[in-house]
Structure 1
Amino acid sequence: MPDREPRPRTPAAEAVRRVRPRRPTEVTLFSGVYGLVMAGAMAAALDSPGEAPDPGSDALWVLLTAVASAAAHGYAHVVAHRASSGGRGARAGLRAMAAEWPVVAAAAPTVVLLLFAVPPLWREETAVDTALVLNALLLTGWGVWTAWSAGRGRGACLRAGAADLVIGLVIILANAVIK
């Protein structure tokens, strides 16, 4: 069978190809959203009224939870793959766990904000509130970016961003109601 020649690109198609970002992998999308939601929920849960503020400890807990979640999720992929196909060894397992790095990367802004909560300059409560708002905005941007990279139009991109924003707002609302 002869090789097919690639279709010539129109100038408009070439311009859209240059504007659209590279499409993220499914693991990156899942892990990024999961990491943002997990970091916000952890920060909100660790910030208890009436308790002595300890932002360094809270930042460490958020980071350790992100690392443990990434490792557990990667290991779950290994176990599921092993059960369905007979397994492939320790190296493949370590690669699967390392592929979950977006969980830890997504938690990084929350960790950094908590580390900068040094009294009297900035209170831990303010750092947690800022982290929750930032995570909601990052979720919104994540939704818009993924829809845009998938070739969706402006309306679909805005709807995707709004849907992701709702997740962040639910965490903020839960934090307000629980506190």
Structure 2
Amino acid sequence: MADSTVEAASGVPRRRHDTREAILFGGVYGAVLASSLVAALTQHGHTSAASRRYDALWVLVTAFASALAHGYAHYIAERGPRRRWSTLRALADEWPLVAAVLPTVFLLAGAGWGWWPATEVEEPAFLLNIAILFTLGVVTARGSRRGWLVSLLIGLVDALLGVIVVVANALIK
């Protein structure tokens, strides 16, 4: 649970992000980011084995850049008296975003290494990321003590919202 803590030196309250919140945020952001990137790359003709290996690297680098940007935004938004390592901690707390793109990176890299057809990786990547969004929705709902039926419905709505965001991103790019 997120809470407010007090910096020892100044008595100034600051917001702390708990692990559950960071994992859920990073998981959702990473799954949507990965799906959007695969859709955009495929739309621009990236379907050969060599390009899929490059795409895997590109998705991973983009995830790291997004995580750094988000961590930096937290640092700026919550600016105040800081401890020595608080900036690095704000950046390191974004690891769930990078972790959430790893299944997509694996699919792209596997297609690049010839484990499956490079031209047929977009749909499995999309379905995998939608499954991640569904799972995060169900886990969050269950963590909020909702029943199974309601939790499954929340997971479906979360997955549907993810589809809408990914399709919108693909159309924009």
Give yes or no for the alignment of 1:144 onto 2:141.
no
Structure 2 CA distance, aligned partners of 1:121 and 1:162? 31
Counterpart for residue 94 of structure 2: 100
Q: Distance in 1 between matches of 2:41 and 2:82?
A: 39
Secondary structure of the corresponding residue to residue 87 of structure 1: coil
Q: How many Å apart are 1:162 and its aligned residue?
A: 0.8
Distance 1:33 1:51 in 2: 25
SS at match of 2:111: coil
Alignment CA distance shift 1:107-1:176 (3 Å) = closer
Aligned-pair identity in percent equals 45
Q: Which runs of 5+ in 2 are unaligned?
A: 1-17
Q: Retained in 2: the 8 A contact 1:47–1:124?
A: no
Whole-Å separation in 2 of the counterparts to 1:144 and 1:170: 18
CA distance 1:24–1:146, shift in 2 (3 Å): farther
- Supply the distance in 2 between the matched residues of 1:52 and 1:136 (Cα, whole angstroms): 21
Q: What is the CA distance between 1:142 and its match in structure 2?
A: 1.0
TM-score where L is the length of structure 2: 0.78
With over 3 angstroms needed to count, the CA separation of the structure-2 counterparts of 1:90 and 1:128, relative to structure 1, is farther
1:122 aligns with 2:116: yes
Aligned partner of 2:37 in structure 1 is 42
Higher relative strand content? 2
Query: Where do residues 17-32 of structure 1 align in structure 2 (5 Å cutoff)?
Result: 25-32=20-27
| Distance in 2 of aligned mates of 1:149 and 1:157 | 9
Q: Which moved more, 1:98-107 or 1:155-164?
A: 155-164
1:113 matched to 2:124: no
Unpaired runs of 5+ residues, structure 1, are: 1-22
| Structure 2 CA distance for partners of 1:125 and 1:171, relative to 1, 3 Å | farther
Look at both structures and tell me which one has the larger radius of gyration over its CA atoms: 1
Give the number of equivalent residue pairs. 154
Matched, 1:64 2:38: no
What is the Cα deviation at residue 167 of structure 1?
Answer: 2.8
Would you say the 8 A contact 1:81–1:87 is kept in 2? Answer: no
Q: What SS does the corresponding residue of 1:160 show, helix, strand or coil?
A: helix
Which letter maps to 1:66?
A
Aligned amino acid, residue 102 of structure 1: P
